[in-house]
Amino acid sequence: MSEKSIIEALQWRYATKKFDPSKKLNENQVSDLIEAVRLSATSYGLQAIKTVLVNDAKKREELVACSFNQQQIKDASHLLVLCREKELKLEHVQGYMNDISETRGVALESLEGFQNMIVNSILTKDVEDQEEWMDKQVYIALGQLLTTCAAMEIDSCPMEGFLPKEYDRVLGLSELNLKAVLVVPVGYRVADDAYAKNKKVRRSREKFVVEI
Amino acid sequence: MSEKSIIEALQWRYATKKFDPSKKLNENQVSDLIEAVRLSATSYGLQAIKTVLVNDAKKREELVACSFNQQQIKDASHLLVLCREKELKLEHVQGYMNDISETRGVALESLEGFQNMIVNSILTKDVEDQEEWMDKQVYIALGQLLTTCAAMEIDSCPMEGFLPKEYDRVLGLSELNLKAVLVVPVGYRVADDAYAKNKKVRRSREKFVVEI
């Protein structure tokens, strides 16, 4: 992978407004995109996030109305809903310690200090701050996902504009202890998506970087 | 760029704890990393974010103490501080409209509706919500930066653990209307960073993905 190509990929990327419903990603591609989210960095590695892949066509139709009528929700090849834990529980932290113990072959007892640090710094926050903290982790995953899509020449559209409560209702997220944070349709643009032709607008380097 | 390679790059990535102070990125590499942040998706494309590149060795020494003594701050080849606007101002939105107008050759007047939408949805939020909203955009940029580093085989360490007020003081960020949100030392790991040998711990696919 050359240096140039990842930057070129990021220049090529844009928030796709019109997906071609006939062009589908294959299973390996979808699997790789989910893997990119799963491999995302999170604070403490705690991963209080999950990916929901919505395959049910009827539900995708229903979600259009919960997404300010944005057609990408049903037209894109696949629909990813990036979620966080609805409520961050001690069991989640314990599960993480178990995973570390198993993956690295270290004794659970040796992880007590780490567990306590996480519990003291995160679980003692008030609920609103915990939620904000978890939300932010999902935004890291979004950046990782969008960049991975671009590297794989897959189109995507990051969306904050949807009704999380309606998503919860349609997808039954509360029962899964999840809350929808970001929605990302992925697939292929149609040839005539006018937005694809718009030049990318960014602050100039001079205005964007401060050297100290 | 093959599908496989970007996922392999993400598997290779880890939060580098020990950087080799003698191994430096070249100018093009640093420029590309900043470009990855500059090209990051942001809500409405508003880019209420900036990158601070800290070249001053004395200031980097000073920042170690403001970063819970993490040595990566001074040992890494380069130090990026990802910032947001301290206060989101109408002029920022107007500057964005000017950039769109210039880049795409469209009349400013035609952007009035878009400007009003941004003003009504963001500038009317209370200050705390505006700040949280801006912070989240910086987290997208972090995900994009970490993935780009990985694709370029550059090591990085994302950090939330630092004292933003002290960073503001040392770097004079307030006068630039900036606030430090995330810190990312970049460069090359030392051969004996024990953390590099740790197996990556992530929730299993079964626990991470929900198909609906």
Among 3.10.129.10, 3.40.50.2300, 3.30.930.10, 3.40.109.10, what is the CATH number of A3-86+138-190? 3.40.109.10
pLDDT for the residue A131: 95
What amino acid occupies position B17? Answer: K
pLDDT for the residue A194: 82
Across all residues in chain A, what is the average pLDDT?
94
Contact between chains at A203 and B5 (C-beta distance less than 8 A): no
**pLDDT tens-digit profile of A91-101?**
999 999 999 99
Please say if the pLDDT value at position A1 is more than 80: no
pLDDT for the residue A148: 96
Q: Which residues of chain B have pLDDT under 70?
A: 1-4
**pLDDT tens-digit profile of A169-200?**
999 999 999 999 999 999 999 988 888 888 99
Domain ranges for chain B: 3-91+124-208
Confidence of residue A2 (pLDDT cuts 50, 70, 90): very low
**Residue A26, helix vs strand vs coil:** coil
> What is the reported pTM?
0.95
What amino acid occupies position A202? Answer: R
pLDDT for the residue A192: 86
Contact between chains at B202 and A39 (C-beta distance less than 8 A): yes
Q: Among all residues of chain B, which has the CA nearest to that of A41? A: B143
Residues of A in contact with B41 (CB under 8 A): 13, 15, 142-143, 146, 158
Please name the residue ranges forming H helices in B88-160. 90-104, 112-118, 127-151
**pLDDT tens-digit profile of A12-56?**
999 999 999 999 999 999 999 999 999 999 999 999 999 999 999
Closest CB to B152: pick one of A3, A55, A202. A3
pLDDT for the residue B194: 82
Helical (H) or strand (E) element with B83: strand B78-85
This complex has an ipTM of 0.95
pLDDT for the residue A196: 82
Residues B14 and B195 sit within 8 Å (Cβ to Cβ): yes
pLDDT for the residue A3: 43
Contact between chains at A208 and B50 (C-beta distance less than 8 A): yes
Contact between chains at B36 and A6 (C-beta distance less than 8 A): yes
How many other CB atoms are there within 10 angstroms of residue A51's CB atom?
25
Residues of B in contact with A6 (CB under 8 A): 1, 32, 36, 148, 151-152
Residue spans of beta strands (DSSP E) within chain A: 49-53, 78-85, 155-156, 178-187, 209-211
Q: In whole angstroms, what is the distance from residue A69 CA to residue A71 CA?
A: 6
**pLDDT tens-digit profile of A44-84?**
999 999 999 999 999 999 999 999 999 999 999 999 999 99
Please name the residue ranges forming H helices in chain B. 3-12, 27-38, 57-65, 72-75, 90-104, 112-118, 127-151, 164-171, 194-197, 205-208
Please say if the pLDDT value at position A7 is more than 90: yes
Among 4.10.520.10, 3.90.1150.10, 3.40.109.10, 3.30.460.80, what is the CATH number of B3-91+124-208? 3.40.109.10
**pLDDT tens-digit profile of A93-141?**
999 999 999 999 999 999 999 999 999 999 999 999 999 999 999 999 9
